[in-house]
Structure 1
Amino acid sequence: MPLPVIIDCDPGHDDTLALLMLGKSPELNLLGVTVCAGNQTLEKTTHNALRVLTLAGMTTRVAAGASKPLSSKITPVSDIMGESGLDGAVLPEPELPLEALSAVELMAGLLRQSGEKVTLIATGPLTNIATFLTGWPSLHSRIERIVLMGGGTFGNVTPVAEFNFHTDPVAADIVFRSNIPIVMSGLDVTYQALIYEHEIEQIRKLGNPVSTATADMLAYYLQRIVQRQYSKDGAHLHDPCTVAWLLFPDLFDLEPAYVAVETARGYCFGESIIDYNGKLSGKPCNAQVMVNINREKFIALIIERLSRYQGL
């Protein structure tokens, strides 16, 4: 039986790749897509999600959520993602409708309707997830787990804070205090999840409209990352790690940890404190944290899933 999932995202080049993997992964039953502000404003990330789903021929339900974090303000990463949040490729205009429901209302309805527990995938700031957890405590038991991208033992917006957690540390704190099983894909593993120029060209050579658009987006993304010296020659595929773990968990090494998020304003705002095995804090582990990835097999998985779009 396919695993029922909902993805909450802020597309974003790497969110886009996660969505496209979901579109051709029959092992996972995508119930819905919810969108938050993060990489760009909510208006832009919602438009991007609808354009990507239209490109892929996906017909899932889509709802917009939080336009601002619980604890901070949106700081779009235009220097990396561009003014649209998804520069680099020509994408079709949306053909999917946007739900009248809010993101959290759609989450609640889908969880009630599902005959099985649902896995939540979170690839943006955790504002929508935290708002749902706070507003619908009776539905916590309907969640199998939360697989999220965020955090790490170092930062990419400040020396200690990763973008998603730094954007809304209060939301991240709520999620990690929820007692719901969490699998965390942080910078320690996503900085290993690099794609290189020759691999982007392999995607382009697949020769279908989805792979061509993906290659164009990734080429732009790689160029921006290298120009701004986030990497010497590869682009970090942060968000697809969540979907890849659900498909093939053996691609990753995980360690149990107690994870806390710093919400106080100051130098450490948004920092994730990761205490492996709870050794130093003495607190029970609340997450499984990805620490290593088989990069070559990860990239091969992405290319294989994009190859399935032949005939669109």
Structure 2
Amino acid sequence: MAVKVLFFGDIGIDDAIALIYSHLNEEVELAGVVGDYGNVPREAAISSVHYLLDLLGLTGKLKVIGGAETPMTGEEPAFYPDIHGEYGLGPIIPGVYEGVIENFFEIVRLIEKYQDELVIVNVGRLTSLATMFILYRSLMSKVKHYYIMGGAFWVPGNVTAVSEANIHADPIAADIVFTYADGVTVFPLNVTDHAIVTPKMADEIANKGEMKIVKTLIDYYYEFYKKRNPNLIGSPIHDLLPVMAAVDDSMFSCQMLPVHVVTSREDPHRGHTIADIRSYSTPKAKRHRVALQFDYFSFYRRFMSTMTGGAFNG
């Protein structure tokens, strides 16, 4: 039976790849998509989701829900068109979506419908998810599992020296989720930085797979990463790993760790995710499952097989 996934994303290139992978993988059933601010403004994210659903033949079959526009910090969000493009799809400009945007509280209906069959994959800012815990804490306990991309443990951040972008953008929301959510697996930069897709892989997907857009997205993404670090052989598709894990997380090595988020706006370590690994740490501290290593070869084979429709022989 396919895993029912409610996808929260702030659509960027890696979000788009994760959505395409979800559709192509027969073991995933998308239950809905929540479009949030993050890599791009919320309106652009929603437009890009609709563009992708049209490309995938899912228009009218899947609800696209309007998520958060700004973080709980009250600040104006920073966007990253230099990394992901104006609409989060690299060079592709789908234009403003002018149709109906599903009400945020449609999330409640989906959780009530699927309950313990539903998993939530959150690969963007945690503002919308935290809002659900503020308003519907008991309902959120019915969700089977939460797969979250965010954080950096004992490795450099990607927006500050210590902080990862999803957590740094709204550390208050992240702290709420880590405080109240049960059944969480976190995918920090420790693993997602190594989910590398190379130009050669993109070429093979274009040659053997149906979704030619994948090469366009990955090539654009790689151009940014290559300028920042010429030694990289490809670009990390961060947001793909939580979707993969929702189906089968056997390629990950995880630890149960208490997670603390630095929330102060003035603190230079804002957004830092801190895990207490002392053997004598507070025994009652809430712990979450944190992925710290993974098998790249397993990732490579699963990704390429799915994206080429089984035509991959490597």
Tell me the TM-score normalised to structure 1 length.
0.91
In structure 1, how many angstroms separate the alpha carbons of the residues matched to 2:179 and 2:56?
36
Match of 1:196 among 186, 195, 198: 198
Counterpart of 1:162, as a letter, is E
Counterpart of 2:148, as a letter, is L
Counterpart of 2:247, as a letter, is L
Change (3 A) 1:126 1:194: same
- The answer to whether the 8 A contact 1:255-1:276 is kept is no
Counterpart of 1:14, as a letter, is D
Change (3 A) 1:92 1:200: farther
How many residue pairs get matched?
305
Query: Aligned with 1:263: secondary structure?
Result: coil
Structure 2 counterpart of 1:156 = 158
In structure 1, how many angstroms separate the alpha carbons of the residues matched to 2:110 and 2:68?
18
Structure 2 counterpart of 1:228 = 228
1:234 to partner: Cα distance: 1.8
Change (3 A) 1:278 1:237: farther
Q: Alpha carbon RMSD of aligned pairs, Å?
A: 2.3
Structure 2 counterpart of 1:268 = 269
In structure 2, how many angstroms separate the alpha carbons of the residues matched to 1:231 and 1:10?
28
Counterpart of 1:243, as a letter, is V
Match of 1:73 among 73, 76, 81: 76
Counterpart of 1:221, as a letter, is Y
Change (3 A) 1:165 1:159: same
**Mean CA deviation greater in 283-292 or 38-47:** 283-292
Q: Does 1:82 align with 2:85?
A: yes
Q: Does 1:291 align with 2:292?
A: yes
Structure 1 counterpart of 2:121 = 121
1:277 to partner: Cα distance: 7.2
Change (3 A) 1:170 1:188: same
**Mean CA deviation greater in 196-205 or 230-239:** 230-239
Matched ranges for 1:111-190 at <5 A: 111-114=111-114, 116-153=116-153, 154-190=156-192
Counterpart of 2:168, as a letter, is H
- The answer to whether the 8 A contact 1:4-1:116 is kept is no
Matched ranges for 1:59-70 at <5 A: 59-70=61-72
Structure 2 counterpart of 1:251 = 251
Cα displacement string for residues 130-189 of structure 1 (whole angstroms, at most 9, x for unaligned residues): 001111123022111210000012311000100000011000000000141110000000
In structure 1, how many angstroms separate the alpha carbons of the residues matched to 2:141 and 2:87?
37
Change (3 A) 1:21 1:167: same
Structure 1 counterpart of 2:103 = 101
